[in-house]
Amino acid sequence: MTTISTVLITGASSGIGAVYAERFARRGHNLVLVARDQARLEALAARLHEETKVAIDVLRADLTQPSDLAVVEARLREDASIGILINNAGLAQSGGFVAQDAQSIDRLIALNITALTRLANAIAPRLAQAGEGSIVNLGSVVGLSPEFGMTIYGATKAYVLFLSQGLSLELAPKGVYVQAVLPAGTHTEIWERAGIDINTLPELMKVDELVDAALAGFDSRELVTIPPLHVAERWDALDASRQLLLSDIRMASAAERYRTKG
């Protein structure tokens, strides 16, 4: 871009969002920091401004609340300086599917799917018209693996991956970069907020390492960045197999094994 774009980061008061804020501030980007905790947002903004001198706006919002979500959407639509969206805010899930109640399901979907989608939708038309900009969606490797047992959470993260792939097909020809970041377990407060004892989890990646890896993928314009994946060819093979499947599922007749023998 001709000028360094402003970055809007959701879930910015702690964890992954806060480290993204620090990294982009050190790159010289102005920031809009979005989260529920006003005091933590202001403390982070003050520290980063003191250290980097970039301009930082704080926007307190609970993205599960329609009125708060609408305020952030309006900012993304109307503020032409914002050229990068980091869709980071999210909730985790404790307990299996049968342990979930309607309220917890609604809140998980509202944040992990609805808010993320609507914020991307708010900024995408403007970026497409400008012919530049980026949307980064934080997913999870859990979205690739029902075996982890976090059924609803994993389903929301599978959605994030699919959405990002679809957005890239639509927006990349118009100059807009879309990245899906799929962390494995990362040492953040998301576990405590979900009621999960972090000491019961396997080894977790440090947040700084996760974000630095995600930014390396961002800089190289990867569509899907999986920081803990050491053998990149395994993702390539999985995606190639998926694309090969497309020729089969476009057939107009049922497979032989499903035909009634009469």
Domain boundaries, the chain: 6-230
Residues sharing a CB contact under 8 Å with residue 167, sequence separation 6 or more, in sequence order: 120, 124, 135, 178
Nearest Cα neighbor of 203 from 228, 231, 234 is 228
CA distances from 192 to 49, 92, 188 (A): 29, 9, 8
The bridge status of strand 56-60 relative to strand 6-10 is unpaired
6-230 CATH:
3.40.50.720
Residue of 20, 153, 159, 177 marked active site: 153
Whole-model pTM over 0.75: yes
What integer pLDDT is reported at residue 200 of this predicted model?
A: 56
Give the pLDDT band (50/70/90) at residue 199: low
Q: Report residue 126 as tokens.
A: 């403007």
- Contact indicator for 45, 59 with CB cutoff of 8 Å: no
CA distances from 167 to 128, 153, 174, 206 (A): 11, 21, 11, 29
SS3 201: coil
* Residue range 77-117, pLDDT digits in tens: 999 999 999 999 999 887 889 989 999 999 999 999 999 99
* Residue 177 appears among annotated catalytic residues: no
* Residue range 218-245, pLDDT digits in tens: 999 999 999 999 999 999 999 999 999 9
d(CA 159, CA 141): 12
